[in-house]
């Protein structure tokens, strides 16, 4: 289910990008362009087919975003990143008597490579 919604979400994103790029530029970002209204009080033009398609695609994109958020929240219900840290296996170390002691914490410098020494 999540994969289907994700694929639809990606297709909507690509379609929305295409619809925005195909629209005619009317100058002046955010509607602050120079006049051209000729006496109209509202500077808003009538909705074109591309404008309506863009709004429909944007609405569908927002809906699929919310659905993906709900799915992700339900999949991770009750779990935390910190819970995964405590589930890490404890490193085992050899004791002096040859047995394995699993209670010792990992040493601080274990990540450093061991270099051969010249004897």
Residue of higher predicted confidence among 90 and 24: 24
94 burial type by CB count under 10 A (0-12 exposed, 13-18 middle, 19+ buried): exposed
Over residues 23-59, the pLDDT tens digits come to 887 754 545 555 555 555 555 555 788 889 999 999 9
Residues 2 and 68 sit within 8 Å (Cβ to Cβ): yes
Token pair listed for 16: 């929305």
Helix (H, G, I), strand (E, B), or coil: what is residue 93? strand
Q: Tell me the domain boundaries of the chain.
A: 1-21+50-74
**Global confidence as pTM:** 0.53
pLDDT higher than 70, residue 107? no
Res. 63 pLDDT band, cuts 50 70 90: very high
Nearest in space to 65 (alpha carbons), one of 16, 5, 15, 20: 5
Over residues 1-18, the pLDDT tens digits come to 899 999 999 999 999 999
């Amino acid at each position: 289910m999540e994969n289907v919604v994700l694929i639809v979400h990606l297709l909507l994103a690509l379609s929305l990008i295409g619809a925005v790029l195909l629209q005619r530029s009317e100058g002046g970002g955010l509607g602050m362009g120079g006049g051209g209204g000729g006496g109209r009080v509202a500077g808003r033009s009538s909705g074109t087919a591309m404008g309506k398609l863009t709004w429909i695609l944007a609405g569908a994109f927002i809906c699929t975003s919310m659905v993906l958020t709900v799915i992700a929240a339900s999949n991770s219900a009750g779990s935390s990143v910190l819970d995964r840290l405590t589930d890490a296996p404890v490193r085992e170390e050899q004791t002096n008597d040859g047995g394995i002691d699993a209670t010792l914490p990992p040493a601080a410098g274990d990540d450093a490579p061991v270099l051969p020494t010249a004897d």
